[in-house]
Amino acid sequence: MAAPSAEHRRAAPGGGEHRFPQARILLFAKAPVPGACKTRLIPALGAVGAAALHRELLENTLARLVPAAIAPLSLWCLPDATHPAFQALAGHSGVSLHRQRGEDLGARMLHAAARALAEAEAVVLIGCDCPGLGPEQVASALAALLEPPQCEAVLGPADDGGYVLLGLRRAAPGLFTDMPWGGDQVAAVTRERMAALGWRWRELAPLADVDRPEDLARYRAAAVG
């Protein structure tokens, strides 16, 4: 594995170095376009309100992770990186922007993971829907992947049966192909497929994401508290 580039060593805030310069954090997000994101919350918030919440969650995720200087962080954008919100976030936080490529979520995640692992030893894939996901979980995942005894993967389950984090040292297509995305069996199927690969993995404590009206109520209550 090649040594991290000078660009990545300088990318940490405050002029310091990242804790895991040999890793990458890949954050996936849709453009905050009304009607195109957080669709399950449109009945509760309206299309404009749902898009505004999506942007809020994305901004908050970057605000938690970028200053922590855990590893170089890239934002993978759908449908592309041209939306003003993405451009503003890149200018403010210094994250790199990339276009998601693939016919479905699995293909897009696999493409990004394979690209990152071409130059890194480990990746952590996350979304912006989990307000409880922060530096502690991401750093813990990368430590499990990179420090002895190393795991092949780390899974951060979501309360609804999906996952909020997937850490990898190899981009295995089986973890992304023909998956029941959006359902309550994603984490379970991922476990089955990692077991079939003969992998050792670590699991983080389950976290709640914000996808449904009941999630929204809990998120707002936590923000007030």
Query: Per-residue confidence of the chain (225 residues) as pLDDT tens digits?
Result: 333 333 333 346 555 799 999 999 999 999 999 999 999 999 999 999 999 999 999 999 999 999 999 999 999 999 999 999 999 999 999 999 999 999 999 999 999 999 999 999 999 999 999 999 999 999 999 999 999 999 999 999 999 999 999 999 999 999 999 999 989 999 999 999 999 999 999 999 999 999 988 898 889 888 765
Q: Is there a contact between 166 and 153 (Cβ–Cβ < 8 Å)?
A: yes
Longest Cα separation, the chain? 49
What is the DSSP secondary structure assignment for residue 207, as one 8-state letter? B
Closest CA relative to residue 204, chosen from 135, 148, 120: 135
* Residue 193 within any structural domain of the chain: yes
Q: How confident is the model at residue 217, as a pLDDT?
A: 85
Does a structural domain hold residue 119? yes
From residue 143, alpha-carbon distances to 23, 91, 109 in Å are 10, 29, 21
Q: Is residue 16 part of a domain?
A: yes
User: Residue 207 CB: number of other CB atoms within 10 A?
Assistant: 19
Does 70 fall in a domain? yes
CA angle 18, 125, 189 (to 5 degrees): 145
CATH of the domain at 58: 3.90.550.10
In a domain? residue 62: yes
Q: What tokens were used for 46?
A: 């309206």
Count of the separate structural domains present in the chain:
1
CA distance 196 to 28: 26
Q: Are 209 and 215 in contact (CB under 8 A)?
A: yes
CA distance 37 to 165: 19
> Is residue 1 included in any domain, yes or no?
no
Per-residue pLDDT, 223: 74
CB–CB of 29/77 below 8 Å? yes
Range of the domain at 181: 6-224
Contacts of 92 (CB under 8 A, 6+ apart): none
Whether the predicted model's global pTM rises above the 0.75 cut = yes
Residue 127 neighbours by CB distance under 10 Å = 24
